[in-house]
Amino acid sequence: MNPQKYAITFACYNQVEYTKMCIDSMIKHKLDLSRLVVVDNASTDSTRSYLESLPLGGLILNKTNLGCGTAWNQGALALQAEWTIIMNNDVIVTEHWIENLIEAAEKNNIKVISPSLIEGPLTTNSISNGILDYDLDEFAKQSNLKMQDAMRVGGHHAVCLAVHQSVWLDIGYFQPIPKLLGFEDTMFFNEMAKANITGAMTGATWLHHFGSITQSAMKQERGLSEKDGLGYRYNYRLLKHSWFTRKLNKMRKSRQKRHWLSKELMEYSMSMHGTRVKGSFVWQ
């Protein structure tokens, strides 16, 4: 695939070891780093010096933490392409992940698409020496072949999104409000729904996600527990949904997830979303 067809961006705030693992996996699979724009939200660890050592397509250094919505917009606008991949920095990518993601979208006429995910922590408390307890590359190779035609229409997620340029023109970018603290993706998906833009999740490409590392760190900074919400508890009001609509949407989503899981397990003996627990996969 022509690298000019896509651009990639992610925001980061400290957690340099996870950013290194993410970019190392990109380099391993021969990604041209000139297609990557990284936005640093005022990290205080060695993130900035590390990023400055790389031949990135763009590096934006914010003076304060402007939140992921603003950062995603900065990255998407700094390097524009037909497809923009918005992603987290706490992931490991696999071979042909971009090509498979975009090809699945174009084959199915989808304008916003996400990869399948395996989630779970490292196998050691020392992230500098940490490894996964399974062979991600081999797993992805086999799973890509097995589930290449599987699609969860409506099942997109914010860990990684490939967004077609037409979507920006139809509904705009992410809400640049720092205090949303992670609610930006929900608002973006709401705008997609209002504009009848259907997203999807594909089994043709897989990533490993360590699990909201930056949000967990920000909770610790604020003295919050993992169970506490990071954002304002009434952010949902911004969606302007009635109580009944919220309840109905939640029920529909739960029912749809159960349907996807049942169908995929029956057809593939696995699903497009799994968690690694004690050496086994738990499918969701």
Q: Where exactly are the structural domains of the chain? A: 3-231
- For the residues 68-80, what does the mean pLDDT come to? 96
pLDDT top residue among 172 and 278: 172
Position with higher pLDDT, 181 vs 252: 252
Give me the pLDDT at residue 85, please. Answer: 98
Share of the chain above pLDDT 90, in %: 76
Q: What average pLDDT does this structure show over 156-185?
A: 92
**Structure tokens of 104?**
């699945």
Report pLDDT digits (tens) over 7-34. 999 999 999 999 999 999 999 999 999 9
Superfamily covering domain 3-231? Spore Coat Polysaccharide Biosynthesis Protein SpsA; Chain A (3.90.550.10)
Rounded Cα distance, 33 and 54, in Å: 8
For residues 82-87, average pLDDT? 98
Q: What is the pLDDT of residue 129?
A: 52
Q: For 42-46, 119-123, 190-194, 256-260, which range has the lowest pLDDT when averaged over its residues?
A: 119-123
Q: Does the pLDDT value for residue 126 go beyond 50?
A: no
CA gap 261, 94 in Å, rounded: 23
Question: Do 195 and 82 form a contact (C-beta atoms < 8 A)?
Answer: no
- Residues 6 or more apart whose Cβ sits within 8 Å of residue 55: 33, 34
Q: Is the predicted pLDDT of residue 225 greater than 70, yes or no?
A: no
- Please compute Rg for the chain using Cα positions: 18
Average pLDDT of the residues of the chain: 90
